[in-house]
Amino acid sequence: MKPNINLPRREVLKTGAAGLLGIIIAAGTRNVAGAQTPSAENVMSNLKALRFGDGNPNYAAQWTYRLAQALGYLGEVGITEFTVTTTDNYIPGMVGGSLDLVHGDTNVFVSSSVASGLPMKMISIYRDSEWWILGVRKGIEVAEDLKGKTLTAGQFGGRNAWIQKQILMKLGLNPETDIQFVPSSGGSDTWLAALLAGTVDGSTLFPRHKQPLEEAGGKFIFAERMPAPQEAFGAMGAWLDQNQDAAYAFTLADLKARQWLFKPENKEKAYQIMIDLGYEIPDRFKANYAIELEQMSPDGGFEASDMDAFMTSLQATGNVPPNVNWREFFDLRFLWAAQDALGLPRRPGSL
């Protein structure tokens, strides 16, 4: 099966911009089954067909659930028809009932639920950390060389710009006086192009950019992985209540796939499965296998203290409302049951 790719790329929805007010949740027409106590032996979905939505077309964003499908883990729990739609409109699709489960940014779930007043629940975390990287052009050797230079991280006021300021402070620089920030459109590949062209002296980058930057004589002057429970799987609260067994089954299959993916001996097969599904994976991306996994939650969980800090940073940039209680937007009964079934410690242990 080829992936259903519907571009353009996702856009992070900021507070008040979800555009979901007035959308009515479609009446439930599916079978409702009593929730089971799942184990690796007896969990079974009440739905044969599951419709999944994702805002990111990259193979690494869709890796675990695609592996769950290809390795037969979804089929083992009764999910025999699994369709994936990649679209920026995954939240409206979930609200309107055309999508059952979706993968998106944690701040999008929170801000969309607040803006619409509709119950949206995250059931597990996909990526639980992020790389803070500052790349610089040829000729920049130490942090002191950045004084008076130009840097970009997208638009002013965004989270990437906020991160860049934190990096500069870690390097001993004053981001308000030592650096000239240049706003730019597009994503990180565009920022790299500007850096390589000499339009700016430095930019926020990601691990995949290291090779082309170094080939041009530049380097990463700062690279550190930071806790950030930034991406999650979620659904409408009403859908979860009506289809608890499907949620249990999907989560268990997905966690089994993660455990398989994290075994180094499965690396080549894991890539080949995605290539066979139609995803483009350049060789330089394959070299980032360990780096990709470092950002991914191996058990679907996260540390509550990390989420506290992450949400505080999102409030500072306006990506979630002030004083929001992130715990209200999680339903972890499915995650905990799957962790129990696979003999994994519950993470987080409680909310």
Q: Tens-digit pLDDT profile for the chain (351 aa)?
A: 334 433 333 332 333 333 333 332 232 323 334 445 555 568 899 999 999 999 989 899 999 999 999 999 999 999 999 999 999 899 999 999 999 999 999 999 999 999 999 999 999 999 999 999 999 999 999 999 999 999 998 887 778 888 999 999 999 999 999 999 999 887 788 999 999 999 999 999 988 899 899 999 999 999 999 999 999 999 999 999 999 999 999 999 999 999 999 999 999 999 999 999 999 998 878 888 998 899 999 999 999 999 999 999 999 888 999 989 999 999 999 999 999 999 999 999 998
Question: What pLDDT sits at residue 154?
Answer: 82
- For residue 282, cis peptide bond before it (omega within 30 degrees of 0): no
Q: What is the pLDDT of residue 188?
A: 85
Q: Domain spanning 4-18+35-128+229-341 has what CATH number?
A: 3.40.190.10
What's residue 321's pLDDT? 93
Q: What SS3 class is residue 215?
A: helix
Radius of gyration of the chain (CA): 21
> What is the residue whose two structure tokens read 């009932």?
97
User: In this predicted model, what pLDDT tens digit does every residue of 149-187 receive, in sequence order?
Assistant: 999 988 877 788 889 999 999 999 999 999 999 998 877
Q: Which fold has domain 130-227?
A: D-Maltodextrin-Binding Protein; domain 2 (3.40.190)
CA distance 106 to 54: 13
pLDDT at 36: 52
* pTM for this predicted structure: 0.84
Asked if 4-18+35-128+229-341 and 130-227 have one fold, the answer is yes
Q: What is the pLDDT of residue 38?
A: 57
- Residue 7 has a pLDDT of 30
Identify the burial level of 204 via C-beta atoms within 10 angstroms of its C-beta, where 0-12 means exposed, 13-18 middle and 19 or more buried: buried
pLDDT the model gives residue 158: 78
The predicted structure's pLDDT at residue 185:
80
What is the tens place of the pLDDT at every residue in 93-128?
A: 999 999 999 999 999 999 999 999 999 999 999 999
- pLDDT score for 174: 97
Structural domain boundaries in the chain: 4-18+35-128+229-341, 130-227
Strands (DSSP E) along 74-161, which ranges?
A: 81-86, 101-105, 120-125, 129-136, 150-152
Q: Which of 151, 133, 131 lies closest to 222, judged by CA?
A: 133
97, 99, 100, 101: CA torsion to nearest 10: -140
CA gap 167, 211 in Å, rounded: 21
Length of the chain: 351
Please report the pLDDT score of residue 83 as a whole number: 97
- What is the predicted pLDDT for the residue at 258? 98
Angle at the Cα of 279 from the Cα atoms of 203 and 190, rounded to 5 degrees = 20
Q: What is the pLDDT of residue 10?
A: 35
